[in-house]
Chains A and B, each alone.
Chain A
Amino acid sequence: MAQFLEVKNIHKNFGKLAALSDISFSVQQGEVVGLIGPNGAGKTTLFNVITGFYRASSGQIFFKDQDVSQAAPNKLAEMGLVRTFQIPRPFRELTVHDNVAVGTLFNPERMHKTQLSTTEFVEKVLDGVKLLPQKGNLAGNLGYGNLKKLEVGRAQGPLPDLLLLDEPFAGLTLSETESLIEILRGLATQGLTLVIVEHKLKELMKLVKRVIVLHYGKKIADGNPEEIARNEQVLKAYLGRRWSKSNA
């Protein structure tokens, strides 16, 4: 396989607004990558393009060597690419258990490979995201913190190889965030490739080995956390020219 995930020259325009300009990068299997940038930089737009919710104005996306630029989200899920949503979107009238089980139902071949029954698998996932005690509750009754965890749990239903998380720590308390970091670290150890959009940089840096930075729709940096923290352009983007000049 050339690259696990390859994003090639992606442009996305909304009318005259260039939300994404010439974005290119690739991700290897097993990497844990962070995607950061000031508000409006285009992170969620990029996510939407990669996961099939938007169509790119030009450019291509390759996943496992296949051109998925035009692929629908459910096709991507079948191939092993799943995303979470920044604002949790659970299936409210289904139980926590069923929320995770759904993904398994539509990817039977992968399910089969695990040699587990649906219930065993779902409980394993729920245990991983610390939601096992809630498994019989309706998702609509959960609190925000648990809903964020359910997002991660539900996304594992289709047994993805690549998981894209959109601001998983948004709105969580410090301890909830720590808890989620542990969970994500666990997933990475199991071999899941992760791409995480986040604003909470300190927490994100604890998790990722590589960071891509977007600004006004363009990629301005790509490297490990230490390099990024010192990168002149990144500092300028986040903090403004004066600060970066005096502290570079």
Chain B
Amino acid sequence: METVRKELFSIVMVGIISIGLAVVAPVSSYDFYLMGLLTSACLWVVYVVCWDLLAGYTGMLNFGQLLFAGVAAYTVALIEINLKMPRPLTMLIGLLTGILSSLLIGLPSLRVRSTYFALVSFAVLLVFFRITLTFVETFGGDYGLSIARIFSREVLYYTSIILMALTLITLRLIVKSRIGMALQCIREDEETARAVGVNIQRYKLMACLISAFFTSLAGICGFYYMGHVGPEVFGMMGSFNVVIMGVVGGAGTIFGAALGAGALSVLLEFMRPIAEYRNLGYALLLVAVVMMASRGIWGSLASYFKK
């Protein structure tokens, strides 16, 4: 495949970084803490890169990326707690519900401008937040749902690295392919895209489903890692952080978004003690980047070098 060959360099880089990550934690003396940090960072990378597919490439700005992760996680949690099912089946169902939830935002936005997608994503998030808080017996209200640790930390750590690598490679190949071209044309000018033969509906849906697929997997992984899922997954802050990481890192460039995710998620963790200031800072960072370097750090650097 022509595309794979062209992208060999990126694929190898991803492989090297992944292996590096896989070795780092067990070798260092800060084991658990570092492992947790890196697991979390890998998952954030998945979230942000999937967000980038929707927002950076297709122009569908999504303020509710974590919706898919949250739906998948809650589904898995509910099944684990209430039913007795073989684990692979549980995860599959979780994955399916996560993917389906993307249709809640995707379908209504099909016939209208992509900017409406953004506003619908807000609304969906808010509704799900409310639902988890309303039906307290089912969803555990503020406390959410918890289970005992099933998989070991190492297993989940390695899983998250593999998931991150897979997501990066797959998405990179997709955006360099015909699909990626279609998505960018949709972002640039929907009418013109139609005029040259692009089926807008089909590609928008495709982007939603692909984005939701990996995000859901990450959500499930996150759930097993924490042993817990709560209404905050449907909160504004989480998904907003995804947006910030994507924009600051570089929307429309898979690796830029990944970099933003990696760096900012680690920073997020370190700044936990000053959470409100951190949130304010992140919000202002977004404003600054949008006003000055609309392509994010990666994108700006990339176009600087292109000249």
Contacts and interface: CB of A to CB of B under 8 A. Distances in A.
Interface in B187-216: 187-189, 191-200
B184 interface: yes
B198 A53 contact: no
Given A74-B198, A74-B200, A77-B197, A105 B181 contact: yes
Interface stretch (A88-96, A171-179, A189-197): A88-96
A83 to B, nearest CB: 6
B272 interface: no
A44 interface: no
B195 A82 contact: yes
B185 interface: yes
A74 B191 contact: no
B197 A103 contact: yes
A211 to B, nearest CB: 25
Interface residues of A, number: 28
A77 B195 contact: yes
B41 interface: no
Contacts of A92: 188-189
A163 to B, nearest CB: 11
Contacts of B178: 105-106
A158 B197 contact: yes
Given A74-B200, A98-B181, A102-B181, A51 B188 contact: no
A155 B195 CA distance: 8
A85 B200 contact: no
Contact of A77 (B184, B187, B191, B196): B196
A168 interface: no
B182 interface: yes
Interface string A83-121: 101000111111000100111011100000000000000
Contacts of B193: 74, 91, 102
Contacts of A85: 191-192, 195
A222 interface: no
Given A89-B189, A89-B192, A107 B181 contact: no
Contacts of A53: 191
A105 B188 CA distance: 17
Contact of A89 (B181, B191, B197): B191
A81 B87 CA distance: 52
A239 interface: no
A107 B182 CA distance: 12
Determine which residue in B178, B182, B188, B193 has the highest number of CB atoms from chain A within 10 A of its CB, and name it. B188
Contacts of B198: 74, 102, 106
B191 A102 contact: no
A37 interface: no
A103 B196 CA distance: 5
A44 B178 CA distance: 31
B184 A93 contact: yes
Nearest to A154: B196
A51 B196 CA distance: 11
Given A90-B189, A103-B196, 7 more contacts: A53-B191, A73-B195, A82-B195, A91-B188, A93-B188, A103-B197, A105-B181
27 contacts: A72-B194, A73-B191, A73-B195, A74-B194, A74-B195, A74-B196, A74-B197, A74-B199, A77-B195, A83-B195, A85-B191, A90-B192, A91-B184, A91-B188, A91-B192, A91-B193, A94-B185, A94-B188, A101-B181, A102-B185, A103-B196, A103-B197, A105-B181, A105-B182, A106-B197, A107-B197, A157-B196
